[in-house]
Amino acid sequence: MQNPIDPTLDLVIERRIDVPPGPLWACWTRPELMERWFCPVPWKMTDIELDLRPGGHFRGVIRGPGGEAMPNVGCYLEVLSERRLVWTDALTGGFRPKPEPFMTGIITFDPIPGGTLYRAVALHADAETRAKHEAMGFHEGWGKATDQLAALARTI
Amino acid sequence: MQNPIDPTLDLVIERRIDVPPGPLWACWTRPELMERWFCPVPWKMTDIELDLRPGGHFRGVIRGPGGEAMPNVGCYLEVLSERRLVWTDALTGGFRPKPEPFMTGIITFDPIPGGTLYRAVALHADAETRAKHEAMGFHEGWGKATDQLAALARTI
């Protein structure tokens, strides 16, 4: 189920999490749960709409502590319940191209004894975009969000 | 099966063709057939590789009568045999983003008495890209290619 990773173009978070895939999947696919973990606090994503099917849109607004508000829009590409979720910001709903593509996300939830091998991969078009994403704080930001995800998943 | 069309962003070719969906699908999905119709003569696409599955790449080289050679690369998004084929040049194989996205193509093959209602829709990110594609000769080029497609499909 896992794509080969290109270390020159991709960024990866991998964790063994002590909850089964189901609750983690729920946190990724139910707006009221996603709102509670997707951005590292004090940032938050609100106004989340998820049309969970290939070609379906996702939409949200990432809000910062200083009143920042950035739309986050994209398109689901693969939706394999409790196993694999793929989306991109290179497209919007209905597979329409979108200017300034940044990344595709591939999240896999592999069941293992005692929980889930959770992997989040960000694919970029080129090494420059990967470096920019890393410099924006990919590891810190996605790492903290993954801590929040695991903590929330343990409660549901 | 058909997406709603946005006339401010999309370009459309629609034809009733007197062959069933099967041969038209074959012309879209077999490299040795695709090479014979995809570009309006005297242009031609060669070196075609089609990995026909969501996330699979397509690759080809569009060659002109003056020795022009332009790579044509993208990613399949939906592959529904003899009914619907969707791909985009906003992504490459494995759903990786690609710089300078231009269009998504949605081809539908609807069986009708006596043949196929064939529709090719080009989706663009904005009105400017749509206008550019139209000015590049979308209607003439895709129209001529569709004539070539129908003529080839009648022979197989």
ipTM value, please give it: 0.93
Per CB distance under 8 Å, which residues of B are interface residues toward A?
A: 3, 9, 54-55, 77-78, 86, 88-91, 94-99, 101-104, 106, 123-126, 129
Q: pLDDT tens for residues A110-133?
A: 999 999 999 999 999 999 999 999
- List Cβ neighbours of A53 (8 Å cut-off, separation of 6 or more): A76, A79
- The pLDDT confidence band at residue B1, using thresholds 50, 70 and 90, is very low
| E-only strand ranges, A34-146 | 44-50, 57-63, 69-80, 84-88, 91-92, 96-97, 104-112, 115-123
Question: Which pTM was predicted?
Answer: 0.94
| Nearest-Cα residue of chain B relative to residue A10 | B96
Separation CA A55–CA A48 (nearest Å): 17
Distance from CA of A95 to the nearest CA of B (A): 7
What's the confidence (pLDDT) of residue A2?
54
Nearest CA in chain A to B77: A77
Of residues A90, A94, A103, nearest to B101 (C-beta): A90
Q: What average pLDDT does the segment A141-146 reach?
A: 96
In order of their start, the domains of chain B are: 10-153 (3.30.530.20)
The residue of B53, B78, B96, B108 whose CB has the most chain A CBs within 10 angstroms, and thus the best one to mutate to test that interface, is B96
pLDDT digits (tens, 9 = 90+) for A44-98: 999 999 999 999 999 999 999 999 999 999 999 999 999 999 999 999 999 999 9
pLDDT over threshold 90, residue B86? yes
- How close does chain B come to A97, measured CA to CA in Å? 5
Whether residue A90 and residue B91 make contact (CB cut-off 8 A), yes or no, is: yes
* Cβ contacts of A106-109, under 8 Å, gap ≥ 24: A106/A3, A106/B95, A107/A28, A108/A1, A108/A2, A108/A83, A108/A84, A109/A21, A109/A24, A109/A25, A109/A82, A109/A83, A109/A84
Mean pLDDT (chain A) is 96
Distance from CA of B94 to the nearest CA of A (A): 8
- Residue-wise pLDDT tens digits, A5-53: 899 999 999 999 999 999 999 999 999 999 999 999 999 999 999 999 9
Q: If you measure CA to CA, which chain A residue comes closest to B78?
A: A54
- Read off the pLDDT band of B145 (50, 70, 90): very high
Amino acid A4: pLDDT: 80
For chain A, the residues whose C-beta falls within 8 A of a C-beta of chain B are: 3, 9, 54-55, 77-78, 86, 88-91, 94-99, 101-104, 106, 123-126, 129
pLDDT at B81 over 90: yes
